[in-house]
Amino acid sequence: MNRSSKVPLYKQLKQKIKKDIQDSFYQIGQIIPTEQDFCEEFAISRQTVREAITELVNEGLVERVQGKGTIVKARGPVARNRYMTGIIVPGLDLFISKIVVGVEKVLSKYNYKLLFANTDSDLELQKKYIKELKDEEVSGMIVFPAEDKNVDEQIKELEAEGFPLVIIDRILENVDANYVTVNNTGGGYKAVDYLINLNHRHIGFVSHCFWKTSSVKDRFAGYKKALKEYQLPLEEKNILSYNPYDINKKATIDMISRYLTKNDRPTALFAVNDLIAIDLINICRRLAIRIPDDLSIIGFDNSELLTRLNIPLTTIAQPKEEIGVKAAQLLIEQVENNSPRERLVLPTKLIIRKSCDILNKKQPNKCKETYFS
Omega prior to 340 cis, within 30 of 0: no
* pLDDT at residue number 361: 66
CA distance 187 to 52: 45
Return all residues near 118 (Cβ < 8 A) that are at least 6 apart: 88, 89, 90, 91, 92
∠ CA 206-210-214, rounded to 5°:
95
Q: Are 2 and 341 in contact (CB under 8 A)?
A: yes
| CATH assignment of 9-72, among 1.10.10.10, 3.40.50.920, 1.10.645.10, 3.50.50.60 | 1.10.10.10
Strand, coil or helix: 87: strand
CA 63 to chain centre: 42
Q: In 62-98, which positions are buried (b, 16+ CB within 10 angstroms) versus exposed (e)?
A: beeeeeeebebbebeeeebebebbbbbbbeeeebbeb
* pLDDT at residue number 261: 97
Indicate yes or no: pTM above 0.85.
Answer: no
* pLDDT at residue number 289: 97
First to last CA, the chain: 34
* pLDDT at residue number 157: 85
HSE-CB for 218 with a 13 A CA cutoff: 18
| CATH assignment of 81-182+320-345, among 3.30.2310.20, 3.40.50.300, 1.10.260.40, 3.40.50.2300 | 3.40.50.2300
* pLDDT at residue number 373: 44
Helical residues (DSSP H) of the chain, grouped into ranges = 9-22, 35-42, 46-58, 94-109, 123-135, 153-160, 184-196, 214-229, 250-261, 274-286, 320-337
CA distance 51 to 264: 66
Angle between helices 123-135 and 153-160 (to 10 degrees): 30
Q: Are 6 and 176 in contact (CB under 8 A)?
A: yes
Fold of 184-318: Rossmann fold (3.40.50)
* pLDDT at residue number 317: 97
Burial of residue 216 (CB within 10 Å: 0-12, 13-18, 19+) is: buried
* pLDDT at residue number 59: 82
pLDDT tens by residue, the chain, 373 residues = 777 766 788 988 988 898 888 777 898 899 999 999 999 999 999 999 999 999 999 888 899 998 889 999 876 654 556 789 999 999 988 899 999 999 999 999 999 999 999 999 888 999 999 999 988 889 999 999 987 666 678 888 888 788 899 999 999 887 889 999 999 999 999 999 999 999 999 999 999 988 888 999 999 999 999 999 999 999 999 999 999 989 999 999 999 999 999 999 999 999 999 999 999 999 999 999 999 999 999 999 998 888 778 899 999 999 999 999 999 999 999 988 888 889 999 999 999 999 999 997 655 554 444 444 4
∠ CA 321-324-328, rounded to 5°:
145
Residue 114's closest CA among 146, 80, 144, 140? 140
Q: Are 294 and 267 in contact (CB under 8 A)?
A: no
Residue 292's closest CA among 369, 203, 353? 353
* pLDDT at residue number 354: 94
Same fold, 9-72 and 81-182+320-345: no
Phi, psi (deg, nearest 5) at residue 138: -65, 155
What is the domain partition of the chain in residue ranges?
9-72, 81-182+320-345, 184-318
